[in-house]
Structures are given as C-alpha cells and as structure tokens.
Structure 1
C-alpha cells in the first residue's frame, strides 16, 4: 500500500515529473522519494520496537528479544535506505551517468562531507548502522531506553531537510517536521512490532501489550495531528491552495490520519475488553490490517509530499534581493520595533513547547483527578504552582520574549533568567514526581512503565550525585559562565537546534538547583538547612557578579550578530541592560528561595520540637533524666579527693 500510494501521489502531484532542464532521469526522480519512504519505514520499525521494549515488554520474556531483533533489522534497512537516499540526492545534482572513475568518487565524497544535505544523510546512515549493531548486542533495559533516545535524535538530520519553511516560519516548520516523523515512527513502528510479535504471545500477554501500545498511539496521534496541521498551514497558506495538487495530497493524508484515530478509539475502548473476555483475535487481525493499510497510505503520500511543489513559496528572506543585515543573518525580517506592550501582544509559537506544556498540565491534572477519585487529597497550592510554572514556560517559549530574543540580547537574558530561575521555583513545589508515584500503577510483570523508570532514575547514583546542593549549584553557576563565553552561545543563537538545547539545559540545571534547596519530591540526599542557605548565598554572589560583569563590560558578545541587526540602537547598551536583568530579575527568585528555605527550616525545627515533646510525654522525659544523671555523675567524680 505504501509503495502504491507513493507512486500514485508522485504522479498526481508532479513530484517525479521530468525537469525541463537538467533532468536526472526516471530512476533518480522516482528512486529518491521511494528511498525516503523506505527510510521512514525503517526508522519507524527501529524506534517503535525500541519504545515498546523499553515501556511495555518484560526483559525475561521472549517478546523483549524479538522486539530488539525487529529493531535491529529495521535499523539495517534504515541505514541502507539512508545511504541510497544520499546517493540519489547526489545524482540529482551530478546529472551525468554513473562512472567508476576517480572523479565520480571524489565528487560523491565531497557531496557527502561538504554539503549540508550530504552530511545529513551520511550522519543518518551512520546513526542507523550504529543502532543496528547495538540492537543485536544489547539486552539491558536501561540501555534500550538510551538506544530509543538515540533513534529519536537520529531523525534530526531528516527534519532539517525537505520543505523546512521559509522566512520566519523556518524554525516552526523544522520543529513540526521533527515531531511529526518521531511520533509517526512510534505509532507505525509500535504497531508493526505488535503484529510481528502477536503469534508468539498468548492472550494473557498480548492484551496488556495492546493496552500499553494504545496509550503511546493516542499520544502519537495528538502530536502527529498537531504537527501535521502546522506543517500544512505553513506550506498551503490559504484554503484556496487546498485545491492544488499539494493541497489535495494533504487532504488525503488528513483523511488517512482521521481513520487511524478512529481505529485507535475502537482499539482502546472495545478491542482490549473483547479480547480479554472472549480470547478471540479475529477482530484484532481485522483492525490491525486496516490500520496498516491506512498507515501505508499516509506514509506513501508523505514521501510524495516531500517532492511536491508547495503552493506557498518557501523562500528565505536572506535569498531576497535587497535583504537587510538582520534578514541575511536570521533568514527572517526584523520584528516590529521593541516596546514593552509588544512583549504581550506579539507571539512566535514553538510547537514543541506548546505540546510539552499542554501534556504537562493534562497529565498533572489527570493525576490529581485520580487521587481525588480514590479519596486521597492533594494540596491545591501545589497544583496552582505547577500550572503557573507551565504557563510561564509557555509564554517564554512562545510569546513576545521568544519573538525578540534572537535580535535583542536583553530579551534573550530575560528568557534565560526566567527559564533558569523563575520557572523552576514554580515547578519544583508542585512535586510532580511524588504525584506520579502516587497515581501511576505499579507493574508486576517485569516490564518498566513510567513509574518504574521514575523510581529507577530517582534512586540512581547519578541523580544522587547531581541532587546534592553543592553539585547542583556548581552546575548552575558554571554553565552560566561557560555558555556565554564559549561557542555554545553562538550555536544557541544562530541555530534552532542549539536554541532548543539551551532551553532544556537551563530548565534542567535550574530545576536541579531548586530541587536540592526546597524540593519535596524524593531525593537520595537531604542537605542540612544551614548548608542549603550557605550554598544559596554563594550562588547569589556568583550570579550577581556575572550580571555586574555584563553591566560594566565594554566588549560586545557576538558582535557580528547583535551588533549587525540594524535596529538603530546601541547593541552594547542593550547588552548592559541584559546584565541588569541578570542581576536584578535573576535575584528575585533567589530571594524567594532564601525565604522558602528559612520557612522550611523553621517548620522542621517545630516538627522536631513537637516530636521530642511527644516522646517526653510517653517516657517521662527519660532522655533528659539520663542526661542529668550523667552530668551529676561527672560532677561527683570531679569533687572526690
């Protein structure tokens, strides 16, 4: 089905039509999108199988080894297809017959190592090849999770290719493509793994696996639908463009995804219960056959869409004649001149963080609802703080600050201070780990669900080391200096991938630091309150010194970036204003932390006093009596001649 739909979509959309000038030939024109289709299927089989092995299957059962074998075979297909795609991509530029002379080999090597597209496919092939070896060699559950993460990261080079948007939509398009292919891979690959494994599983085993896969499939459907909408909106633009060949193919793909969503509802609501009651698999095979058919249709159309001309022109602003310095640097026009009100009226949406914040609120509230349903309580203040933290995170990653931080250092610093200090101060008291451990069901079949992975992480020696206040403070402060005075700052400013890394890094280091001071979630180490205050005061001093160094500095960070934007304002003055933000705004959450630590210290002393009082009431203050007798005995011994 996937192959047929891909060829039909290529013919209908013109994705494989002959070029009027410099045509590479039928083999290359059809071979490139079909090779990409095989890449997508191989990546899906790898990531989906690893995801099920990590989150649904038990290591002691044959299903676990079979899933890793499926992942290994799929990774091998992924690697070979990636190499073929890279070769076909080269042939679209070479435009001459294949030869075996040195010149052909040198040009191919140059393409793979010196051009962006060639490097992307080379890295993809190497990552897939490495996963092939690891999936054969590794049978450790923890390492399987890391391999799944590696597979997800291996899709990044693919996300940077294709119709990545133009002008200011490039970053949004890149995030949407990556999310789309990652969760489509989990969805399709998980189903393929279930189908292949089904004949080796009895009904007592396949039913819970289907239920666990259904959870992954529902999440994947939501993300695929959202990312697909964003991608279509960027490339289609208007409703009239839906009647173009590209728009019609998009509608076909939407229809296929809608049918898959319906099948997912049927699977979760009816199939699992029916199989548990009757033991019959007839409906299972009917349903998965239909699902695979529609997934094949969607996959084939998606491969063809990547080669079909979009009705909305995807031209970077840097390619337009007469572009400004800012457009040449960023590929997008400058936003409106900065004013405080535009921080709340201008938006620059990032789908990745919209989804993270949305799921963060949904699953937290679902956990609270589950507690209430069984009669347990959960402090309202924790819920309010958690939601407030995610709202602030949503604003910083999607609002006016995100719209200006690429152009103004002061806006960038405001985002940094909020991500590293304010957001963690709100999120940590929400105690998400405690809520998860109280609400997520415990597994008893040897598999690792979310609860088991959380327990493993929080009880690991690595977390124990990182959660120490001194270690967390060093990470927090050192990363501040290293980031701004190393190439990391340029990478995070100029590259969308670096920008996402920056957000994650500052959130994690800030969260670890705040958790070590006022966290209520389980932690291997609880430092004494005097040490916590001492570490906090030392951190405040280093933080303030960093801000003052920017305020008084005369050297411009990234002078060829911030100094070339063409705002008509002083970039150095803006950098000094950013230093003031680092010193002032960054200290407000720190003061709040100091107050919180002092309050917790006071309450801890009160609890200790009450505990001693209750103990004294029970034993007649035996401990004090024994202490007095010991002093009296020492006094008697000293007074003897």
Structure 2
C-alpha cells in the first residue's frame, strides 16, 4: 500500500480534498445563485449585498463543517478501531489500552471541524436575523437580535443548533471514551432535526413529507461526503494500515445506505416543489435536474468502487491508484453538488411553499385539505406518506432479508416464518404511519385511536416474533480489531441497565398501560397533533412500549428476564383489564380531549366531536380483543413447547444415567419402608 506510485496521489488528495470541494462549490453555487435570481436585491427592505452573499457563504461553510465533524465521528464510532492491537478481554483493559493512531487522528479532525462548524452556525444565525428583518435590523441591532433568538421560532431553532454543536464540540475535546464520542455523534446528527424543521412552513401542504424527506436528505449527504473527507484526510496513514480494506468496505456499506437515502428523500422533496414538466423548465427545476445528474454520477462511482476496486485493495497496486483517482472525481462532483444545494435552499421553487389563502379550518390545523368522508375502502386508498418511517421499514426489511440469505448460504437454519413475520410487521408499520389511520387520525379522535391501538398492540407483535436481535447476532460477525459495529452497539444497548429496566416485565406493563392515561388525560395529545416532533415521538414511544411489552410475553431475544408462563398470562389479563377500563372511561366521558384540535377541525361529515371521541373509547376497548387472544395463544403454545422440551431433556438424562434418579428414589422409599417395619408398634 505504500508504493512510490501511490503516495504522491494520496498526498495530493489529502491536501486538496477540502480545497477542491470549497472552490468548486463556491464557483457553482455563486453561478446557481445568479441563475435562479436568489441574490437579486429585494424591492423593499433589502438587507444588503453583504447578507445576500454572506448568508449562502456561511451556510456553505456550515455544511462543510457539519460533514467533516459527522464523518469523523462516524469513523471513530462505527469504522475505526479505538485501541491499538485489537480487542481486549476486559473492559477496563480496553479503556486503558493505547489509542489507535488513526482513531486519534479522526478525533483531531472532529475537533477542528467542530470549531469551524460552531463559528459558521453563529454566522448563519446573525445573517439569518438580518435577512429576516431586512435593513431595519441595523437599527437597535442587539435588542432586535435578542427578540429574534428568544421569541421567533426560526431564531430559537438556530440557537438550539448552536448549543448542540457547541456541546458536541466540547465532548470531542474533553473525552476519549467510546461512549462519550458516540454521544457527540448523536448530538451532531441531532442538529439535522431543527435544520429539517426550518426547511418548510408548518402550515403549508405536505409538511410531514417535506420535513422528514429534508432531514433524511441532509443525513445521507452529510455522512456520505463526510466519510469521503475523512478518508482523504487520513490519507497515507490509512493507506499503510493493515485493515485498510476492512475500513473502506465498512464505509462503502454506509455510503450505499446514504446514497439510497439521498435518492429517495430527494425525489420526495422535489415532488413537493416541482409538480410537472413545466416546473422542471424553470431555473429552479433545471438546478434540480443538474443536482440529480450529479447524484447519479456519484452513485455510479460508488458502484464501481464496490464492484471492481475495493476487493483488490492491498493486493494490486493499480487498484489503489484507481481508488484514489475515483475519490478525487467524487470530490469534484460533490463540490458542484453542494454549491447547487446551497443555491436551491436560497431559491424560490415554482410551487409555492406558503400556506394557501383563505384556508379551511382543517388546513389551518393540519396544513392539508380535509380528506373525504372515511369508509373501509378509503382507509386503504387515502395516503399521506411519512418518508421517515418508510425509510426505516424499508431499510429494516432489506437488512433482514440480506441476513436471512447469508445465513442460508452458509448452511445455518432460520425459520422462514420469522422472516415473514418481520416483513408483515414492517408492512403494518408503513400502513399505520402513512395510510388511512395517519390521514384520518389528524382530523378524527376515533381514527387517531385506531392509529394508536395499531401502533401499540398490532405492529409490535410480528416484529417481536421476527426476533431481530437474535438474527443480528447470528448473521453478523463480531468485530475483532477493537472497533464497534452495529452488532456491538446494539448488544451494548440491550445490556445497559436503562434498557433492562424499561424491558422488565412489570415496568413494560406499567408503561404499556399507564402511557394511555398520561397521553390522553395530561394534554400531551394536543402537542402530538400540533407539532411535528410531537407526532414522531408519539409514534416512536408507543411502538417501543408495545414492542417491550410483547417482548416480555412472547419474545425470544436477549435482554429481558421473562417471568414463568402462568405469570405471563396473569400479567396479560391484568394489563388488558386496565386497557378495557381506559376505553370505558373515554366512552363515558362528556369532556372533549384535545378540544382545541378536534373541536375546530370543521368536518362536515361523521359524528360530532364528542360522539366521535366516545366511539374512539369503544375502539380502544374492542380493538384489543384480537391481539390479546393472539398473545394468549402464543404464550400457551410456547408454554407447551417448553414443557415438551423439558420432558425430552429429562428423558435424555434418564437414558444417559440408566434411570439413576428413579432407582435412587425407589431405593429411598424401600429404605423408609424397612425402617418403619423395624419400629416398635405404636402404643396410645
């Protein structure tokens, strides 16, 4: 790997990686800004040329800093070995072992880039303030800036971004533990949530699709480009490392996932802003086409890497030269793509993203028109896709299928019913989060109850029966080089005291049933309806609560200390009785829950709001009958199988010992009888 032909190429790419992206991004970005008219002065209250050019420049530097920081932390958490010399047997020994030089270098990259990222975030915050207020911002600047960051949602989000980046940067400097760096990585990825929320008006149509697709797009592009940056900056050190092929293969897998996220989310986001061919002929549409072509070229280069180059790394010198040439081409295309992305963010799309004029009550609340009157057919034909959960379900399904195929190829057995069960769970998840329950759940209490009950009682059951943790343990190899992959992090999470606490059968049962009371009677439900984050957190919480409860009853994955089978049935009956009591309490209530929402939807069909709520209580009571019966049957079947296995185990033991236990028992009885016969007769 350290051939004379290779080292000059490595040094060139290492030194020129960031300059190439910055230079090309700046040239292409400025040209696209002029092409779309995004830097033209406004007729009223223009903020000035410094802001019109300074804001996209600051955002460009912000994106570079974000990519470098997230990419470096990704390599430190998921790809590179933390300690030199491979895995240690004991945890304390691993913590005290010398750090791997490449891992340390990746952390240094994260340190420097996180500082640049923080400063650029502050610059974007200030420029955004002036751009929002206009020329009047220069009058009483400090007081107006204070109002912007404390009372305006856009300013508050940017303050949150700055704080998250600063905390992540502090962790990069202050810790070298694997978990601490992982927390820094989580915080860095968390920055993308407020970034996505700022990209679309909450009252405009397609808010969920726009926000989630933008978040996925930012995530995919950031880890893709950030990984390339880190490979280039590690340079010759990576080239001379023994495990260079394994490192590149790990990044290549992540890059493939990132490419799929970028393509999927890009299509969803573009369809919200470009509705027809005429829209594509506008300057905005032409920039989208140019960005799409660049993305396809990057995907083709990645395919060439995986198919023809990576397998030859370390063995063929020409493969190494070809690899770094392709990396250079990727930087050139990525630089142009980032410039186009910044220009798009500052340009006005042909389809307005603002709320419609004279909106209906439903449009004011949800951002979407009131759906037609519900019936059974429309619960399957009315869709409002949620890209986040579609991406999660599709990714989990593909990963499970690949793991299943790999197990079968190496001769291991895995029940097909588990594969089918997992896929059914993913289909249910997409249906609940994107089809009729999602559409009508925004405007009807009863439909929201259907969505809720399916999430907590139906979707988790086939997921648990799919045994995903056991599949992960069997289908993926344990890392032996001191790094931690998905397998290691999932097993660490499963065995943490926190997850074990929430997975405890009693805690899982209380969470499963008690969450209903807290959610519906504390006012939290309104925030789940009114805010995007609240809605997604509701889905995640109830899906997790249902999964942990089902895992305690019928699961086989590790991490749960399950009670005896009779106690499981008792636990199921008690929980379902409480569940029925909850449904009856809603049925008999005359106080409207989330009245500010369901009382103002303005639907001209169906029941009144209070009648619909009482119907929802009946649904909560009745919809649990079938899942409860299913779980009870599964517990009984597992109980019977466990008894059969125990009986067979005892039979095998008796065969091995020639009925030693039985003969010893008979001998004990004979001895007792003999002693009793020798005892004198009893006298009153």
Q: SS in structure 2 opposite 1:168?
A: coil
Change (3 A) 1:473 1:418: same
In 2 relative to 1, CA 283–195 (structure 1 residues): closer, same or farther, beyond 3 Å?
same
Residues 631 and 396 of structure 1: CA distance in aligned 2, closer, same or farther (over 3 Å) = same
**Residues 165, 187 of structure 2: 8 Å contact kept:** no
Cα drift, residue 626 of structure 1:
2.6
Worse overlay, 45-54 or 618-627 = 618-627
Distance 1:32 1:637 in 2: 100
Are 1:468 and 2:504 counterparts?
yes
User: Within 5 A, what are the aligned runs for 1:89-168?
Assistant: 89-96=128-135, 103-163=140-200, 167-168=204-205
**Separation (CA, whole Å) in 2 of partners of 1:200 and 1:31:** 36
Q: Alignment partner for residue 566 of structure 1, among 602, 609, 615? A: 602
Alignment match, 2:563: 527
1:203–1:276 CA contact under 8 A, matched in 2: no
Q: Distance in 1 between matches of 2:676 and 2:516?
A: 59
What's 1:64 paired with? Answer: 103
Rounded to whole Å, the distance in 1 between the matches of 2:223 and 2:633 is: 45
Q: Is 2:224–2:255's contact at 8 Å kept on the other side of the alignment?
A: yes
Counterpart in the other structure of 1:210: 248
Alpha carbons 2:115, 2:169 under 8 Å: kept: yes
Contact 1:418–1:586 (Cα < 8 Å) also in 2? no
> How far apart are 1:119 and its partner, in Å?
0.7
Separation in 2, partners of 1:373, 1:24: 63
Which residue of 1 is the match for residue 316 of structure 2? 278
Structure 2 partner of 1:296: 335
Kept in 2: contact 1:235–1:310 (CA 8 A): yes
Q: How far apart, CA to CA, are the structure 2 residues paired with 1:389 and 1:524?
A: 21
- Quick one: distance in 2 between partners of 1:301 and 1:272? 30
Residues 404-553 of structure 1 aligned to structure 2 (within 5 Å) = 404-553=440-589
Moved more, 404-413 or 263-272: 263-272
Which residue of structure 2 lines up, in the alignment, with residue 587 of structure 1? Answer: 625
Match in the other structure for 1:189:
226
User: Partners of 2:199 and 2:555 in 1: how far apart?
Assistant: 44
Q: Any idea what the Cα deviations from partners look like across 1:284-321, whole Å, max 9, x if unmatched?
A: 3211111111111111111111111111112213xx12
Q: Secondary structure at the residue paired with 2:370?
A: coil
- Residues 167, 332 of structure 1: 8 Å contact kept: yes
Note closer, same or farther for the CA distance 1:599–1:220 as it changes in structure 2 (3 Å cut): same
1: CA distance, partners of 2:200 / 2:291: 16
Say if 2:504 and 2:561, in contact at 8 Å, map to a contact too: yes
Change (3 A) 1:97 1:334: closer
CA deviation after TM superposition for structure 1 residue 375, in Å: 2.0
Q: Distance in 1 between matches of 2:421 and 2:360?
A: 43
Asked if 1:224 is matched to 2:247, the reply is no
Whole-Å separation in 1 of the counterparts to 2:371 and 2:627 = 30
Farther off after superposition, 417-426 or 330-339: 330-339
Larger mean Cα displacement after TM superposition, 59-68 or 112-121:
59-68
> RMSD value over aligned CA atoms?
1.8
Mapped partners of 2:203, 2:567: distance in 1: 52
How far did residue 164 of structure 1 move? 5.0
Within the alignment, does 1:233 sit opposite 2:260 as a pair?
no
Deviations 1:84-111 (A, max 9, x none): 1111111123433876x8x321111111
TM-score, scaled to structure 2? 0.90
Residues 165 and 315 in structure 1, CA contact (< 8 A), matched pair in contact too:
no
> Which residue pairs with 2:94 in the alignment?
none
Distance 1:145 1:544 in 2: 42
In 1, Cα distance between equivalents of 2:322 and 2:201: 40
What SS is found at the alignment partner of 1:294?
helix
Q: Which residue of 1 aligns with 2:28?
A: 5
Deviation at 1:557, TM superposition (A): 0.4
Would the aligned equivalents of 2:456 and 2:545 in 1 still touch at CA under 8 Å?
yes
Equivalent in 237, 262, 277 of residue 200 of structure 1: 237
CA distance 1:279–1:591, change in 2 (3 Å): same
Q: Does 1:78 align with 2:114?
A: no
Q: Which of 417, 424, 434 is equivalent to 1:388?
A: 424
Number of residue-to-residue matches in the alignment: 636
Greater Cα shift, 381-390 or 481-490: 481-490
Distance 2:80 2:279 in 1: 45
**Deviation, structure 1 residue 520:** 1.7
Q: Is the 8 A contact 1:183 1:224 kept in 2?
A: yes
Of 313, 333, 337, which residue of structure 1 is paired with 2:352?
313
Point out where structure 2 has 5 or more consecutive residues left out of the alignment: 1-23, 84-99
Structure 1 gap ranges (5+): none
Between the aligned partners of 2:327 and 2:111, the Cα distance in structure 1 is 23
